[in-house]
């Protein structure tokens, strides 16, 4: 009996990279789209995200959507 | 259809009942964290999961050719009685673990049932021992580690990236992302698990000569299997959902997103790189990992320990029930009838027991019933207070180290009582045992 360590290692590596990658990407999107916290001592009003941050967020979310679409493709094509 | 004998009819009905319990049992995998973080309302979550399971049942292009993936020798005289007995064992174990609120693998229950029934009515040569190790044991051990570590790393990262952001501001985004991940898990579940039932029914039809060998399952088989799993999913195993969503750890939206995404990635990666991991273990592991990944997050090891014990018992317990059922069913028609009556009786008794303390969509998020801190939890606390990281002096009682470390009260209320004399003096080996259960 032999354990297929290569396959197990592969699964582990891919899972780790994909999970951390997608969660990281999505978090970047959330950070980009959310408001910056008020500076200490500044007014209560918080700054809306800038145009650059917003574009980055949209791009990050779009990449996540692509990943989900690929996931559906994997399920359907299996 | 007029050639279907009574026995095959019984097998088909039993297979559909198993399919129902399968959906019922595994709703938690996809939806427990989604419900506990409030991403979806409980009813909405199970409805969405049910629809995706139904869709998944029809999506699969390739039909399960073997019901057991080579674990039992299906050519070695597997008769409908054997399949029936195996299914009864799997159903009984699924319902028992549901009553206890423990997520255990439905596939393992099915495998265990079929193995037990085969051992009794065919003999040891009907079971491929090596396949059991390769396809059941190793994936079950590896799954929580793979998914848990991935979810833990992802949770760490996401908390780090959003440390300057207001939590209420980001929660909405996480909840939305979590729904997408949960949908992927549901869809994958539908394609995998509904297929198993189709495989069982098709095999029964083949042994009865109703359809030709190697035939694809008829449309009514696909439709009924899909409907059974969807109905089970919709009714929801709320007990298990509560355990996974609230019992193992307290899940915040970022953790729920990380756990669910980790689970989806693990399931898809493993099934497409040829090392299939069990969904239940993947999802539970991911939830535990996300609990460990958050600063101040705590995993309730007593709950986790019971869950792991249930995983270990699934194969032998379902096998034992099925072995008894196979022995009885082998006695002839009255034996089959007796198994059916007994099975129905046990299911009814379990259902009646569940009504004494019902858990449904209205109270699923109420958190775990205050359980005394288990030995493992207490010992772990006495050794390693989670956030601080400095080793606790050996003289410390679990009480003093535990309370400041745990913001969650329920098990901190009774810390010293069960720890008693046996947990405090030997902290090191206990801690090791606790790590292993992960």
What is the number of CB-based contacts under 8 A between chain A and chain B? 129
Confidence at residue B378, expressed as pLDDT on a 0 to 100 scale: 56
Q: B278: helix, coil or strand?
A: coil
A23–B268 CB contact, under 8 Å: no
- Six-digit token pair at B145? 């580690």
Which stretch of DSSP H or E encloses residue B205?
helix B167-207
Q: Would you call B63 an interface residue with chain A, using a CB distance cutoff of 8 Å?
A: no
Locate the domains of chain A by residue range. 25-35+45-78
Looking at chain A, the number of H-run helices and the number of E-run strands are 2, 0
**Which of the four pLDDT bands, split at 50, 70 and 90, describes residue B365?**
confident
Please state which of the ranges B243-257, B264-278, B327-341 shows the lowest mean pLDDT.
B264-278
The pLDDT value recorded for residue B362 is: 80
Residue B167 has a pLDDT of 78
CB B266 within 8 A of CB B282: yes
pLDDT of residue B3: 60
Provide the residue ranges of all domains of chain B, joining segments of one domain with +.
6-355, 375-437
pLDDT for B69 equals: 60
Segment B166-185, tens digit of pLDDT: 777 788 888 889 999 999 99
**pLDDT of residue B265 exceeding 80:** yes
Residues of A near B (CB-CB distance < 8 A)? Answer: 1, 3-4, 7-8, 10-12, 14-16, 18-20, 22-24, 26-31, 33-37, 64, 68, 71-72, 74-78
What span, in angstroms and rounded, lies between the C-alpha atoms of B258 and B290?
Answer: 7
Q: What pLDDT, in 10s, does the model give residues A2-50?
A: 677 888 888 899 999 999 999 999 998 888 887 766 555 444 455 566 7
Nearest CA distance, B244 vs chain A (angstrom) = 20
Euclidean distance between the first and the last CA atom of chain A, given in angstroms as a whole number: 27
**Tell me, what's the pLDDT at A38?**
53
Predicted confidence (pLDDT) at residue B39 exceeds the cutoff of 80: yes
Rg (CA), chain A: 19
% of chain B with per-residue pLDDT over 90:
32
Q: Rounded mean pLDDT of B342-371?
A: 80
pLDDT of residue A5: 81
- pLDDT given for residue B166 in this prediction: 79
Report pLDDT digits (tens) over B199-235. Answer: 888 878 877 777 777 677 888 888 999 999 999 999 8
Q: What is the pLDDT of residue B76?
A: 64
């Amino acid at each position: 009996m032999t354990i297929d360590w290569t396959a197990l290692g592969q699964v582990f590596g891919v899972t780790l990279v994909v999970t951390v990658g997608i969660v990281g990407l999505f978090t970047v999107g959330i950070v980009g789209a959310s408001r910056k916290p008020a500076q200490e001592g500044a007014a209560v009003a918080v700054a809306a995200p800038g145009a650059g941050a917003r574009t980055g967020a949209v791009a990050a979310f779009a990449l996540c959507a692509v990943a989900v679409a690929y996931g559906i493709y994997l399920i359907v094509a299996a | 259809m007029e050639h279907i004998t009574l026995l095959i009819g019984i097998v088909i009905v039993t297979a559909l009942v198993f399919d129902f319990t399968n959906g019922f049992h595994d709703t938690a995998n996809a939806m427990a964290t989604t419900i506990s973080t409030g991403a979806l309302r409980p009813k909405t979550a199970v409805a969405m999961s049910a629809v995706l399971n139904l869709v998944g049942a029809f999506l699969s292009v390739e039909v399960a050719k073997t019901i057991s993936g080579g674990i039992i020798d299906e050519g070695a005289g597997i008769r409908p009685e054997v399949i029936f007995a195996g299914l009864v064992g799997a159903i009984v174990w699924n319902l028992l673990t549901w009553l206890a609120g423990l997520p255990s693998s439905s596939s393992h229950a099915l495998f265990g049932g079929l193995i037990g029934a085969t051992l009794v009515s065919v003999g040891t040569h009907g079971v491929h021992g090596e396949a059991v190790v390769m396809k059941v044991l190793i994936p079950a051990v590896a799954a929580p580690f793979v998914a848990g570590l991935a979810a833990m790393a992802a949770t760490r990262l996401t908390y780090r990236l959003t440390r300057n952001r207001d939590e209420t501001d980001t929660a909405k985004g996480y909840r939305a992302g979590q729904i997408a991940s949960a949908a992927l898990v549901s869809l994958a579940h539908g394609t995998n698990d509904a297929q198993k039932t189709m495989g069982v029914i098709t095999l029964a039809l083949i042994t009865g000569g109703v359809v030709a060998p190697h035939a694809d399952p008829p449309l009514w088989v696909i439709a009924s299997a899909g409907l059974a799993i969807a109905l089970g999913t919709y009714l929801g195993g709320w007990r298990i959902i509560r355990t996974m969503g609230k019992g193992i750890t307290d899940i915040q939206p970022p953790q729920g997103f990380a756990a669910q995404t980790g689970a989806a990635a693990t399931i898809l990666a493993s099934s497409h790189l040829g090392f299939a991991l069990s969904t239940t273990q993947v999802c539970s592991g991911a939830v535990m990992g996300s609990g460990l990944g958050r600063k101040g997050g705590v995993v309730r090891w007593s709950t986790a320990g019971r869950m792991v014990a249930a995983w270990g018992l699934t194969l032998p317990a379902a096998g034992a029930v099925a072995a008894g059922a196979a022995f009885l069913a082998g006695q002839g028609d009255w034996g089959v009838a007796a198994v059916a009556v007994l099975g129905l009786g046990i299911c009814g008794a379990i259902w009646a027991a569940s009504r004494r303390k019902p858990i449904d969509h209205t109270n699923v998020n109420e958190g775990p019933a205050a359980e005394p801190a288990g030995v493992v939890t207490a010992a772990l606390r006495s050794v390693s207070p989670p956030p601080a990281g400095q080793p606790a002096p050996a003289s410390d009682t679990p009480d003093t180290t535990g309370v400041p470390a745990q913001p969650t009260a329920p098990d901190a209320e009774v810390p010293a009582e069960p720890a008693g004399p046996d947990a405090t003096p030997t902290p090191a080996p206990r801690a090791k045992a606790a790590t292993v259960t992960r």
